[in-house]
Chains A and B, each alone.
Chain A
Amino acid sequence: EDQVTQSPEALRLQEGESSSLNCSYTVSGLRGLFWYRQDPGKGPEFLFTLYSAGEEKEKERLKATLTKKESFLHITAPKPEDSATYLCAFGKGKAAGNKLTFGGGTRVLVKP
């Protein structure tokens, strides 16, 4: 059965303390691995799509990487405004970008 698991569930960081979030998946026919950021009470905000093992994408202090079994979201020198829940999801089939299966998310708190 296709599934995606995120770890840790929660992460407390000091400002400037870099860390990584893990997204492990078992999917046949993966068409895309997606990362979203969600602030409390808001809808998810799109960050990255990764399509093949070895691919990397960056945006400000965030960098996403993909292997055949995992994706990592690296947060470099985080600031308090990086506090949010980070969601990963996979897509497959012809509706790959639309019919996403999400993990449970990692809640990140960055303290000043």
Chain B
Amino acid sequence: DAGVTQSPTHLIKTRGQQVTLRCSPKSGHDTVSWYQQALGQGPQFIFQYYEEEERQRGNFPDRFSGHQFPNYSSELNVNALLLGDSALYLCASSLGPGNTIYFGEGSWLTVV
């Protein structure tokens, strides 16, 4: 039973560039959420996708956008990267938008 898978695992980008992170949910799950975790802090909710629509959003600027595909996989896009965007980006999935989420291993983004 495949868990949540994310790609890439590590990447380095330059300030001002754009990045796309990808996520495949756990088998049988239809809802995807994205979190940002800075070093030494707890994860912060970015947004949730269900039925290919953004359903909930945290306190993140419009530079952060996403997409969910018909097969439930998802992408997180960040435009105009800032040094402060350096973090571990976590994807989590659940069966339904209100149920317990299960995390992937994350994508480490470093902005230089």
Interface residues, chain A, with chain B CB atoms under 8 Å away: 32, 34, 36, 41-46, 49, 87, 89, 94-105
Contact = CB atoms under 8 A, between A and B. Distances in A.
Contacts, number: 67
Interface residues of B, number: 27
A45 B103 contact: yes
Interface of B: 4, 31, 33, 40-45, 48, 55-56, 58, 90, 92, 94, 97-106, 108
Given A42-B106, A43-B90, A43-B106, A97 B43 contact: no
A98 B103 contact: no
Contacts of B31: 98
Task: List the 8 closest A-B pairs by CB distance, nearest first.
Answer: A102-B42, A43-B103, A97-B99, A97-B100, A43-B105, A95-B56, A44-B103, A98-B33
A24 B40 CA distance: 19
A96 B101 CA distance: 10
Nearest to A31: B98
